[in-house]
Each structure stands twice: as C-alpha cells, then as structure tokens.
Structure 1
Amino acid sequence: MFLSHDGLCSIGELAERAGLTVKTVRFYSDRGLLPEAARSAGGHRRYGPDALGRLRLLRSLRALGLPVREVRRVLDEEDAADRVLEDAVAGQLREVGSELAALRWREAGLRLVLECPPGDRADRLRLIGAVGAPPDTAALARFWRAWLPPRMPARATAAFLEAAVPQPPGDPAPAQVLAFARLYALVTQPCTGSGPCQPEAHKAPGSRGPAVLYAGLAQAYELAGAPLRQGLEPGPGEELDSFVDAYASAYGGRDTPGFRRLLAGQLADDPRIDRYWELVTEVITPPGGRPEPTPGSAHDWLFAALEAQTAEAA
C-alpha cells in the first residue's frame, strides 16, 4: 500500500520500488501494459496499489525474453493466463533452441577455418559461407526430387526424402560442418553430361512402378542394415533376394538369373549419388562414432552382392 493520502504513487516511486528505471516504467505505460490510475493536477502519472505487482510480473516476463506482444497476451487474457503463459514460454524455448543451434554451427565453422591449413582457408570460407547457420536442407530435398522417378507418388517421395535427407546435428564438430557444406555444394551443382540425370532403373513401366520399386527398396535396405552393422561382406541371402524382387515387381518381371544379369548391368555406378552418401555418413557420424547404415551404404552393399553373384554365375 502506498503511503500517499490518496493511496497512489508517482512514476518515480513505483520505479524505485520495482527496481526499474523511470524510462522503463514509462515505456510500459505508453504501450498500455501498465495502466495509470489517475493524473495529478500537474499532469503527472499516478499509479494504484496493484501497479507494483503488475510491474514485477512484467519484469519477470521480459526477463524470460518474451516479446511485448506475448507479455500483453498474458496480462490481458486473465481467464486463460496459465495457458497463454505456457504457450508463450514454449514458443520462446523453441526460439532460444534455434538461436543456440545457430551459434553452435557458427562456432564449429569458425573453428573449422581457424584450425585448417592457411592454404585451405579460402576454399573452406567459400564452402561454409554458402550455407546458413544452422543449415537448411531444402536444397537436398530438391536434389532428390529431380533425381527420383517423375511418376513417383507424393507419399512414397516423402518417405524416401525422410530417409535420404539428413538432419544437421545440433552440436556439430567442425568436420561435420565441412561435410554438410560439401554436401550442399554437391547438390546445388547442375547435373552435367549428355544423358539424362536419371538412372536407367527408374524407367519402370506403369504409374505404380516407381512406388512399387521404392517400397521394395526400403524393405531391402532395412534388411541389409544387419549385415552392414556386423561388418559382413556382401553376399547372397534374404537381403539380396528382396533387393532384386523390388526391381522385378516394378518391371512386372520375374526374378531369374537372366533378370539378375540384366539388372546388374543397369545399376551402373553414379558418382554423384555415391559421393552424396559418403558425405551424409560424415554429417551424421560424430568424430570417433560408428557410422550407421544409410540407404546409400545399403544400396552399395546389395549392388556389390548382386555383381559378385552374377560374376560367379558367368
């Protein structure tokens, strides 16, 4: 309770009790966040007893980093104050998380430039300067959309992109920042060469061919994950049968020795795709960590098993 005869206080007294500057209190008043109770004969602001508690709440909310518009919502929507405050704090947490992720990427990028040989600095500056912090993966998704079969259903495309586009690590090492920057440079380069930028195996007939192909490949890649983790050499088995069956089903054919020979010839190496998966492994694997299988490493393992089998049969 204020000690003045009318139970009100001046802006200076209110600021002193709240531990704020007069300028800050005036700022909140001018924006309607701290209503004044009256004006003195000389036109000076006067505040009621509830102003001190409201001002302290304002200070606490602003100390959490909430913008003025969110503070206004918490103060004005009294009936739903808890829900509004919860939503505002959750939103601020997400924003702080994004800022921290950006700072971690900037820190790793700075270390990358600082710790590399002087002769490499110009190239690394160019690479990391082309991507944001944290980086956006939209360019990687565009790369795959151009590479995938044109009749690929939206649901199948989304499932493939989820597996093929790596999420940048939240706390990257300099080597992971460099790998992502190289990955970004790779996918933003135009496809070169006289032929189409599509593998021959994508020319599956019918509107359902691409969907059947990639649904089957996803199953084969998952099966190949086990021998990859065990470090086993590529060879025949359930994994290879599932891999071949994916192509046979998409083409409307049968899994025969002749089909396997034909498929081995069609699945030619694509240096762009091989390099893509090499860099993905570097992006998602922390220093000293054990690489996890990717669709790329699973495909290579299965392709090697197919080549070995057809060569042996020949």
Structure 2
Amino acid sequence: MIGAFEDFSTKYWSMPSAASPDIFSTQVDEKCWTYACSPGSIKTSAGHQIPRTGSNMVGIYTYGMYRGSEYHEYLQTKLKEPLIPGNRYYVEFWVCRSCLVETASNNIGVFFTGKLINRKSTRSFYNNPQINAEEVVTESKEWTKISGFFTAKYPHEVMIIGNFHKDADTKIRTVEACNNKKLLSQDEAYYYIDDILVRVAEKTEVDEKNKVNDFSKLQKGESIILENIFFDFDEAIILKKSFPELEKLYRFLKQNQHIIEISGHTDNVGSKEYNKLLSEERAQAVVDYLIDKGINQERLKSRGFGSSEPIATNKDEVGRAQNRRVEIKIIE
C-alpha cells in the first residue's frame, strides 16, 4: 500500500504545483473546513463523505478554470524503491465525487516520473498517464476503484495523481448535488482520493480491460460481450482504440458465414427511452463498421436493449460500467 493518508503531517505526500490539494480528516474539530463528516451531517466544505478507510482522505479538482486558465490539482509521492524497467505493475486507487458539485469528469489518473516536481505556478500537467479513468466517475455515495496494469519503461521513482489531459479532452457529465445544495462552481469537478496501491503484478493476473475475445468458440444461440469497444461519452461514435477488437470480429466473419446479432446495452442513468435509442445507435455503429469493411449487411442484425438487461448492479460506477456494453450473438 502506498498511502491511505493516515500520516496527517503529509510527510510522504506533496503537491507538484501551486495548485493545492485539500486533506480532510475525521480527527479535526467539527467546525473546521477540513472536517470529514458522514452523509447525514451538515457541512460547509467540499462534501459530506468520509474516508474509505482510516481517518483521512485528500480532495483534488480534476476539471475547471481559475483566473482564466485550466485548474487541476495534483498530489505526488516518492516510491519506496524505483520501478524496475520491464516489470509489470498493478496500480489501484479509490475516488469519490464530492456531492456538492454538479460536474463529474473522467481522466483521473496516475503518472509515474523520474523525480519530485516543484512547479511554482498552478499550470496543469499534460502527460500520458500510465493508469487513467476513461469513464466519467459520477458516484458520490460509494467509492469507485480505478485500477490497471502497465509495464515500466524507466526506473521512475515518483507517482503523481490528477488529471493529465486538457479540459477539452476530458469528458464531463452534469450531475445532481446532494440535498440540492451546491457550494462549488457548476463547471468544476472535485474528487476525494484514498487507499493507493502500487505493486508488482502476478504473472497470472489478467487486465480486465484487455480481455481478448475468442470468437471461434461461439456456438449458435450463444452471446459474448465485445471487449474493448469504446464510444464517445453519450454518443454512438466508435473510438479508434476499439478498432483492433473490431478487426478481430471482421476476420472471424470473413472466415465464416455466420449471421450474427449485435446488441447494445446501457446503464440506467437517463430515461429508458433515451437509453434504448443510444443502445440501438451504438449497435448500429458496429454494424456499419463491419459493412464498410465488406461484410454483407444481410448477415448483420442489430438491436438495442437500453438498460433493460443489466449484468451487474447500477448502484455504483463499477457495475454501471459493466452494464454499458455491446454483445454479439450467433443466429445461424
């Protein structure tokens, strides 16, 4: 475990820029702005949440403006020992959206670098984080895990957490503040961070985000989730990083004469009517891709189920992410 922020002196943590994160604790006076309180309490700071574990947590802005410039906050720490180039690592940290903001964002990530940074300005960092939340994190009642694997290229010694993308490249969603009480700006996203872990990955561990479909094992009547298919937020536009998986499906269809059904599914955020339409459009987008590649459209059927067939809970972001999916089914 890298940190759960239990050392209140922040001995092991610092800020790489003049944009200052906030530390919240259940151990300070209840009248203090940084008092972390329960959801039922009255509070005038950045929310009503309590730490995931222990007494402390840190809060950062991941989206917004300050004096005419983009404003993101970051926290950094020096690793106990440098990463070993060639080794595969697992990273995990937990986030929770402040319930007093009306904007949620994605692009909450981890960037490993060579040395501690001490920038005197609030200018944001624009890098390619090794671990990043691709989906918008809307959950404010439960903590959401952000995790992933990466292979170290350099003996980096420092880990930084924050948003390393421009606001123009960050997806946002308007959400409802708790108890209809909003204290932060409508155009700012603010998250609590807790329980950060970096360790060497086991050889047998599989990255759930990089599962590989084996279409050859599909039998008539069977369905399979198309892994690694991504769309623009709230859109039916297929992102380029989906193309490798779609190419595998295309080659499978070229080698076989199956008729398949492609179905779209969503979470339960939004109206049933809108979700059904979005799921239909996303399924059709996959069909259109395959037709453009040369697959006969008579072999391709599409359906949209909206949020009517969940495979996980819709009560937290992890479950909702699983429910947002595209499936294929062999018809003949």
The normalised TM-score by structure 2 is: 0.22
Which structure: greater helix fraction?
Answer: 1
Higher relative contact order (CA 8 A, sep 6+): 2
The normalised TM-score by structure 1 is: 0.23
Which structure: greater strand fraction?
Answer: 2
Give the structure with higher Rg (CA): 1
